[in-house]
Amino acid sequence: MKGSVIISGAKNAVLPMMAASLLADGVTTISNVPDLRDTRTMASLIEITGAQVQLNYPEISIDASTVHTLEAPYELVKTMRASFYVLGPILGRFGKAKISLPGGCAWGPRPVDFHLKALEKMGASIKLKEGYVLAEAPRLRGSSIRFDFPSVGATGNILMAAVTASGITQIENAAMEPEIEQLCDMLNLMGGQIEGVGTSYLTIHGVKQLSPVHISVIPDRIEAGTFLIAGALLGQVSIEKTIPTHLKALLEKLHSSGTQVDVDKDSVTVSSPGQIKSVDLTTAVYPGFPTDLQAQWIACMSIAKGSS
C-alpha cells in the first residue's frame, strides 16, 4: 500500500462546536465539517430548538437567533451521547433546559453525573423526571469545580455553561484533548474569556453575551492515526493537513516499532520497516495514547516480532 490522504475534520471537535453555536444570537459558520451521521444527528437536534441549520458540507451554518424550544428529546439523544452537549449552552443562554439523559430512565450511576454536579455548584436547580434533566438557573454563577476524572464531555459542557455565567469559574483536572482546546478557542473567538487553554486548569471569566463566528474544524487525529498504523503495516502512507503534535504519543510508538517516521509542518509520512517490532503501551487520556486507536494498534502488533 502506498499513497497520501487528506485528513477530515475531527468529529469529536465539531459536535461540541455545533452545540456552542447556540450561545450566539446570529449565524455561526463552521468549515471542514465531515459528512457523518453524527453531524447530521446534531444538526437535527439543533433544528428542534428552532435554530436554522444549513448543511453544505464541508461547511455548515447555524442561525441561533430563532431558538424557541429548550428541549432535546430522547429519540435523538439516545442515538448519540454527544447530544448531551446542548445542555450547557441552552442553560447558559436561556436559563433553563429540558434534556434527555443519554440512557433514559436507567438506574445506577450515570455517565453525565459530572456534568450535573458541576452545574449544581454553579447554582442550577437540577431535577430528574422521567428520564429527563430539568435544569433552571436565571443566570449561572462562577464556581470552583474539580473533576475526579478529566472527562471530555463534562469539561466541554461546563465550559459552554460557564462562559456566560456571572463571575469566575475554575475547572481543575479538566480534559486537555485537542478537541477541548479548539472549543476553548471558539468560545474565546466568540467573545469569551478563557485562560489556561490546553492545560488541565481552566479559568473562565463570565461575559454577558457571545457573538457568532466563522471557524474551521481541526483535523481528526484518530483518522490520521488509523492511516498511519495502516502505513506502518502495509507500505508507505503520507497524511496531509494534519497537526503532528496531536499525534505525538502514536508517533513515538511507531518509531519504537521500527517504522520510519518523517514529520513536516502539517504532514506525516510513515514507511513500513518490513518487520514490525513489538511495543508495549498503555492507553490514557490525552496527551497519552488514545483508546480509540487501541484496536488498530492491536492489529499492528499481531504481526510484530515478539510479544507486546
Closest CA to 73 of 48, 50, 94, 92: 48
Cell numbers for 34: 465531515
Cell numbers for 74: 430522547
**Contact between 192 and 234 (Cβ < 8 Å):** no
pTM confidence score: 0.96
Give the torsion through C-alpha atoms of 72, 78, 81, 82, to 10 deg. Answer: -40
Please report the domains of the chain, with CATH numbers, ordered by start residue. 9-216 (3.65.10.10), 221-301 (3.65.10.10)
Active-site hit among 1, 6, 55, 105: 105
| pLDDT by residue, tens only, the chain of 308 residues | 999 999 999 999 999 999 999 999 999 999 999 999 999 999 999 999 999 999 999 999 999 999 999 999 999 998 898 999 999 999 999 999 999 998 654 544 467 999 999 999 999 999 999 999 999 999 999 999 999 999 999 999 999 999 999 999 999 999 999 999 999 999 999 999 999 999 999 999 999 999 999 999 999 999 999 999 999 999 999 999 999 999 999 999 999 999 999 999 999 999 999 899 999 999 999 999 999 999 999 999 999 999 99
Say whether 184 is catalytic.
Answer: no
> What is the pLDDT at residue 103?
62
> What is the pLDDT at residue 102?
84
d(CA 215, CA 300): 36
Q: With both helix axes pointing from N to C terminus, report the angle between 294-301 and 221-234 in degrees, rounded to the nearest 10.
A: 10
